[in-house]
Amino acid sequence: MNGAKRSRVVISVDMEGVCGVSSWVQVSPPEFGGLVSGAEYERARVQMSREAAAAAEGAFAAGATDVLIGDSHDTMRNLLPEWLPERAHYVTGHDRPLSMVQGVQEEGVAALLLLGSHARAGSVRGPLAHTWNGFIRNVRIAGVDTGEYGLNALLAGHYGVPVAFASGDDVALSEIRAELGEGVETVAVKEGLSTFAAVHLHPAEAVRRIRAGAERGVRRALAGELSPHEARWPAPCQLSFEHQARADACERVPGVTRVDAVTVGWESPDAFHLFQTFRLLAKVAEVRLNG
């Protein structure tokens, strides 16, 4: 960063971990997924936008000079901009170079905030627990099982940016603290009961807690109290799927090796390579399974 003062904040907003959400119907845009959408999706969009706005206001209150809000769910066209603070910027569209954390590479970014976080694939009691899509079984980096939060935190760490705050369900936040450290400020907006059930805060209370938590987290980041997430490089990485045909396809990518029937592995020299290789393999794995 050439010694530049870090006072900017990037907020990545997913939808599965938003207060009130516990069904795929609630997070499925009408034109995708073949699920019945409508009033429940529109209501979830509003809450997603309210929580994003609350985090942005908290960041500004803590001293952030610029806030970029990234829509990070599905089509990445879910946020309702009229709910966002007028002084914030926002980014939409799914074909972004850094995907869910677009913006962390810019000069002067002090912190990444992860809103709407959900547990990784295979987690017990995590509402809508998954990693990236519905067919990835597990991601392991340097021997650690992780989810989207870990991938995003490592990529942010590549640019020297720590995760300062996370909100979502209690299972996801427990995983985040275990991997990223107890220094990350967290706010649970719901308690997971099963894959499709949760006990939620009132939406307004969730917004209040997110604003306060984001402010605390950003204050710590601006004070230099947080460290970027890092892994040992070159990091051995593994990606497993629910069907071996997906591993068959990924094994053909140069630099990728077969670990077992449903798992492939590779080594990355840094987090940028890791993240882009993961994205490539997730796309390659979108194969037809009927032969």
As annotated, the active-site residues are: 130
Supply 127's token pair. 């509402």
Residues recorded for the chain: 291
Contact between 131 and 138 under an 8 Å Cβ cutoff? The reply is yes
Candidates 200, 123, 270, 56; CA nearest to 149 is 123
Q: Contact at 8 Å (CB) between 143 and 210?
A: no
202 in a known ligand binding site: no
Q: Which residues contact 291 (CB under 8 A, 6 or more apart)?
A: none
Q: What is each CA distance from 63 to 57, 85, 201, 220, 283, in whole angstroms? A: 10, 15, 28, 11, 39
Report the alpha-carbon distance of residue 47 to residue 51 in Å, rounded.
6
Establish whether 16 is an annotated binding residue: yes
Rounded CA Rg of the chain: 18
205 is in an annotated binding site: no
What sign does the CA torsion over 143, 145, 148, 150 have?
Answer: negative
The residues, any chain, with a CB within 8 Å of residue 100's CB and separated by 6 or more, are 12, 14, 70, 72, 148, 152
118 is in an annotated binding site: yes
Q: What does 103-119 look like in DSSP terms, one character per residue?
A: TTTSTTEEEEEEEEE-P
Confirm whether residue 14 is marked as ligand binding: yes
| Residues flagged as binding site for Zn(2+) | 14, 16, 73, 118, 148
| Residues flagged as binding site | 14, 16, 73, 118, 148
